[in-house]
Amino acid sequence: GTLVLRPGITYFARVFNGQYSNVVNWSVNTCFTATPTPTVASLTLNKDVRNLSNPNTGVFNSVSAKPGDILEFIITVGNSGNSVANNIRLSDFLPSQLQYMSGSTTVDSSFTPDNLTTSGIFLGSLVTNQIKIVKFRAIVAGESAFGSGTIQLTNIARAETDNAGTVSDSAFVSV
């Protein structure tokens, strides 16, 4: 049968191991029904940039560049939830003064078709705590594309999924 324990009642039981017996007692202070943890995918996105033309530059959210410099953008897409994030699609929106370098997109170090800055790329699904790292390169336009003074360019990445919404992040280039 099933024993249903109730708060405030002391219970007794005789325990016998074949040679010795003993009486055990216990009481229940609180009874509760556990609330199940909801299963939710939680998409994350982080975007950084590195100026490959300047060997003293690391990976940051914002870098300085000159016309003609080659930049590498790094996008990290992850799932910090406790359920699978399904059918992730990633797009990147380059400002007109940055030109995508054909053949430069990689996903986890494997080259992928050049659709990131046009129609976007499909990353598949991510399990809990899994990430994918997407990298691509762009060249800063020539001087004629800029007026006088410093201009800040904003490069936006956006990831969307069937069950965890849409996230975006930006990296900045001062020219």
Is the pLDDT reported for residue 42 higher than 70? yes
What residues have CB less than 8 Å from 45, skipping those under 6 apart? Answer: 75, 76, 77, 78, 157, 158, 159, 167, 168, 169
Per-residue pLDDT averaged across 109-129, rounded? 96
pLDDT band at 156 (very low <50, low <70, confident <90, very high): very high
75/171 Cα distance (integer angstroms) = 10
Quickly state the pLDDT bin for 17 (edges 50, 70, 90). Answer: confident
Beta partners for 96? none
Confidence of residue 14 (pLDDT cuts 50, 70, 90): confident
Give the residues across from 22 on adjacent strands: 15
What value, to the nearest 5°, has the Cα angle with vertex 66 and ends 64 and 69?
A: 100
What pLDDT score was predicted for residue 32? 67
Query: Whole-number mean pLDDT of the chain?
Result: 91
How does residue 23 score in pLDDT terms, banded at 50, 70 and 90? confident
Residues listed for the chain: 175
- pLDDT for 20: 76
Amino acid 63: pLDDT: 96
Q: CA 101 → CA 22, 82, 92, 113, 115, distances in Å?
A: 80, 36, 13, 12, 12
Q: Is residue 28 very low, low, confident or very high in pLDDT (cuts 50, 70, 90)? A: low
pLDDT of 21 over the 80 cut: no
Residue 55 has pLDDT above 90, yes or no: no
